């Protein structure tokens, strides 16, 4: 590859050679970059239709390599370049959906999907897609992240109606899996910027679960999650009484949540500082 770069030869021959390099090491960034440059040079004087055909062929090549290297950053970046040159992302959401069907938490696939949505404005139907994924796996933290990403780009996250609806959505999934941190963190992400008092029912839910304890043997019924969120709610109020209570909650959580005991001791030590 080094000799090709030194020669500055951009031809069908060197394009093929770059493919042989990638076949041996798909993470070779230089080889992928060379392919992009080679296609640009080879079709610099071509008609728009010929350039489109070249990038479609390259996208097909990238797709084959991508299926063999689903967690390879270079493959996903190259696909983005191909689609950008084609100016058409209409088939990309379906492609990513196939990948996510095999691995619903593939970071590269989700990042690429977000780029496609934003680049081509293909937001319609995305919330339905996310809802389906959460019905299949309520613990799909990537889907929760995607829901926030979509709403941030398409809705007013300060809208009382939206906040109330999304809080209800999250609470419904907490009912399904109380110890799953994803919907709890989703509530944090929604309400921390606007204030927890924007949706009073969230505090009420936390208070109820914090007081109730485990509903089933071997389960805390979401008590630890509720108490953790309640700490944040109380801290946001700023009153001395609420700060004292949040400190007491941190102390209790240090005993109830041994894996994060050091974290809760630290949180408690920082209250009022």
Catalytic residue among 71, 105, 152, 251: 71
For tokens 């970071």, name the residue.
107
The C-alpha atoms of residue 269 and residue 273 are separated, in whole angstroms, by 8
> Half-sphere exposure (CA, 13 Å, Cβ side) for 127?
10
Instruction: Give phi and psi for 155, each to the nearest 5.
Output: -135, 170
The C-alpha atoms of residue 167 and residue 194 are separated, in whole angstroms, by 13
Residue 101 CB neighbour total at 10 angstroms: 10
The C-alpha atoms of residue 16 and residue 35 are separated, in whole angstroms, by 9
Residue pair 233/252 in contact by the 8 Å Cβ criterion: no
Instruction: Give phi and psi for 164, each to the nearest 5.
Output: -65, -40
Q: Cα–Cα distances in Å, from 252 out to 186, 248, 270, 273?
A: 23, 6, 16, 20
The C-alpha atoms of residue 100 and residue 106 are separated, in whole angstroms, by 7
For tokens 């041996």, name the residue.
24
Told to judge if 71 belongs to the known catalytic residues of this protein, a careful annotator would answer yes
The C-alpha atoms of residue 126 and residue 53 are separated, in whole angstroms, by 29
> Half-sphere exposure (CA, 13 Å, Cβ side) for 91?
11
**Which residues are tagged catalytic?**
71
């Amino acid at each position: 590859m080094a000799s090709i770069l030194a020669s500055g030869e951009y031809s069908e021959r060197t394009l093929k050679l770059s493919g042989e390099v990638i076949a041996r090491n798909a993470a070779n960034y230089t080889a992928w970059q060379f392919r992009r440059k080679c296609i640009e040079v080879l079709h610099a004087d071509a008609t728009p239709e010929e350039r489109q055909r070249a990038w479609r062929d390259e996208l097909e090549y990238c797709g084959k390599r991508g299926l063999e290297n689903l967690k390879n950053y270079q493959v996903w970046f190259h696909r983005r370049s191909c689609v950008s040159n084609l100016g058409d992302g209409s088939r990309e959401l379906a492609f990513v959906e196939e990948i996510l069907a095999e691995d619903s938490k593939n970071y590269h696939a989700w990042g690429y999907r977000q780029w496609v949505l934003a680049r081509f404005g293909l937001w319609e139907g995305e919330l339905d897609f996310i809802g389906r994924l959460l019905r299949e796996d309520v613990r799909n933290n990537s889907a929760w992240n995607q829901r926030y990403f979509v709403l941030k780009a398409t809705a007013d996250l300060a809208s009382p109606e939206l906040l109330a609806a999304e809080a209800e959505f999250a609470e419904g999934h907490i009912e399904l899996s109380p110890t799953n941190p994803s919907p709890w963190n989703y509530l944090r992400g929604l309400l921390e910027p606007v204030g927890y008092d924007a949706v009073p029912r969230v505090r009420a839910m936390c208070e109820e679960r914090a007081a109730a304890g485990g509903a089933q043997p071997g389960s805390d019924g979401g008590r630890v999650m509720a108490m953790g969120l309640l700490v944040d709610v109380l801290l946001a109020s700023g009153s001395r009484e609420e700060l004292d209570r949040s400190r007491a909650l941190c102390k209790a959580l240090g005993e109830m949540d041994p894996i994060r005991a050091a974290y809760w001791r630290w949180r408690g030590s920082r209250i009022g500082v």
